Amino acid sequence: MPTYKNGRAVIDTDGNIMHCHGAGLLEYGGFYYLFGEDRRDRRRVSCYRSKDLVNWEFRNICLTLDSETKRHYVRTDLRLAPKNSGPMTPEEAAAISLQPIGHRGANIERPKVLYCEATGKFVMWMHFENGRDYNAARCAVAVCDTVDGDYVYMGSFNPVGNMSRDCTLFKDDDGTAYFISSARDNADMIVYRLSEDYLTVAEQVKTLWPGQFREAPVVFKEKGKYYMLTSQCTGWAPNQGGWAVAGAMDGRWSSIKPFGNETTFNTQPTAAVKVGGTWVYIGDRWDPSDYLNSTMVYLPIDLENGCAVDWADEVTIEDGRISVSAGDIEDFRIMLPGCSEYLSGDGFNVFTRRLGYADKNLLWLMEEKDGSVLLRHKESGKYLSGDGILTELKDDDRLLWELGDGAEGKLLINRHSGKSMAVFGRRVILADSDDKHFGGFTFVKNY
Ligand code: GLA
């Protein structure tokens, strides 16, 4: 059964780890095509395809720093509009090149592709930065005759003079295409209608939620309504996602309501796809400490209940139907009562820390032993002892814990002393059960 393990690295059909982040999805010719960021070497946009969204076949690096470039008439920025149609001068070529001379080359984020019926071409829109800082805030366009061929880079620009960072594309049923991107240093989300060839902006049609700082837009349509998912702006760190709905792209959009949990299950929106009758949210799970470890998550959206999205370890897609199941994720975080701190360890000491999703030191495993449990610190492989330290496994009842019911969560009662684990300041101590310093811990699955 084609089953997708959320948040795990995907191995493509060649046996390689899939690198396709901030991705956009295009259904074409009986396949799902995924275009996304691949930041290795001079690669920029990778393309994979799949029939089931689970088994992904690598197709091409569609855009690299060495991609062919071609001038592009951008009516929204006169400085980029060529006056003649002759061959480009070296200066013109350098001006639109992905690798402006003298630094490591452009940063390309969130590539999205549409097929343009009017021209028979595939058009990619993306976020362009110069590779040194995030000040360019431009969109860029590339085009290709085939879905997964080598795209020709057409240059970057500020649409209608606006800043343009996180972005997406949406094609309506009548072929009208929209580019949606964060503007004014992410304060506003702007909707642009594209020209008929999808190569440039025809009109700025909407400025959404001014001053509300949204990014990571994803748009889909269901039963005549337009839905937009976005995130807040916290860089690579996850935050609570939001959704909104409208009767028309250029109509009145609702206010933003939350979906998922306070971290959108440690993801940020990147795409949506309809499987059977169900829309599926596709989010990036960024790893800020190692971008290339970032993964992807699929979660079905319950549109009947206000874009409700729940966590699922695994998603199975079969015969055009999607179902969810609990998987083999065993590790969890141990949350302290009444605060957003978690139990952490450094290989010897145990202390508390704020939630950091990429922080592997916050992960624990539970093992059963002699009718009690051992708490194993995943990163170091060591066990929590009643001394408040991590130790190697030994036959010692200080390592054994019993689970009791506390006022706010589970009590961890040490078998050796009969005392309960509590946290005092940032340290772990053992206290009598009626000590006011503890109320129990919450075990939070590592989704
Ligand atoms: C946010 C954006 C990403 C990327 C990072 C960079 O997460 O959504 O596309 O720009 O910030 O910090």
* 90: helix, strand or coil: helix
Task: For residue 215, give the ligand 1 atom closest to its CA.
Answer: 8
Amino acid at 28: Y
The first and second tokens of residue 383, run together, are 């066990």
Indicate whether 158 pLDDT > 70.
Answer: yes
Residues framing ligand 1 (Cβ under 6 A): 22, 109-110, 166, 215-216, 235-236, 268
Identify the weakest region by mean pLDDT among 47-56, 74-83, 170-179, 377-386: 74-83
Band (84; pLDDT cuts 50, 70, 90): very low
Indicate whether 11 pLDDT > 90.
Answer: yes
- CA–CA distance from 116 to each of 59, 177, 303 (Å)? 20, 9, 29
Strands 410-414 and 341-345: unpaired
Band (127; pLDDT cuts 50, 70, 90): very high
Atom 4 (ligand 1): residue with closest C-alpha?
Answer: 235
Phi-psi domain of 370 (left: phi exceeds 0; alpha: psi -120 through 50; beta: other): left
C-alpha 138/C-alpha 72 separation (Å) is 15
The per-residue pLDDT for range 396-413, each reduced to its tens digit, is 999 999 999 888 889 999
Considering 81-90, 211-220, 322-331, the range whose residues carry the highest mean pLDDT is 211-220
- Tell me what pLDDT residue 74 has: 64
The first and second tokens of residue 69, run together, are 């470039």
Identify the weakest region by mean pLDDT among 3-12, 129-138, 140-149, 200-209: 129-138
Band (82; pLDDT cuts 50, 70, 90): very low
Ligand 1 centroid to residue 76 C-alpha, Å: 25
Atom 12 (ligand 1): residue with closest C-alpha?
Answer: 235
Identify the weakest region by mean pLDDT among 31-45, 166-180, 421-435: 421-435
- Tell me what pLDDT residue 431 has: 84
The per-residue pLDDT for range 264-316, each reduced to its tens digit, is 999 999 999 999 999 999 999 998 878 888 999 999 999 999 999 999 999 99
Largest CA distance in the chain: 85
C-alpha 398/C-alpha 374 separation (Å) is 10
Structural domains of the chain, ranges and CATH numbers in brackets = 3-325 (2.115.10.20), 332-445 (2.80.10.50)
Give the burial class of 200: count Cβ atoms within 10 A of its Cβ; 0-12 exposed, 13-18 middle, 19 or more buried. Answer: buried
C-alpha 341/C-alpha 290 separation (Å) is 23
The first and second tokens of residue 300, run together, are 């079905």
Question: What value does the mean pLDDT take over residues 422-439?
Answer: 75
Indicate whether 141 pLDDT > 90.
Answer: yes
C-alpha 72/C-alpha 96 separation (Å) is 9
Band (258; pLDDT cuts 50, 70, 90): very high
Reported as type and span, the H/E element at residue 94 is: helix 90-96
Question: What value does the mean pLDDT take over residues 246-255?
Answer: 98
- Tell me what pLDDT residue 80 has: 25
Task: For residue 22, give the ligand 1 atom closest to its CA.
Answer: 9
Ligand 1, from 109, 229, 263: best to mutate by most atoms within 8 Å of Cβ? 109
C-alpha 198/C-alpha 220 separation (Å) is 18
Indicate whether 439 pLDDT > 90.
Answer: no
Indicate whether 188 pLDDT > 60.
Answer: yes
Phi, psi angle pair for 282, to nearest 5°: -115, 120
The per-residue pLDDT for range 357-400, each reduced to its tens digit, is 778 899 999 999 999 999 999 999 999 999 889 999 989 999 99
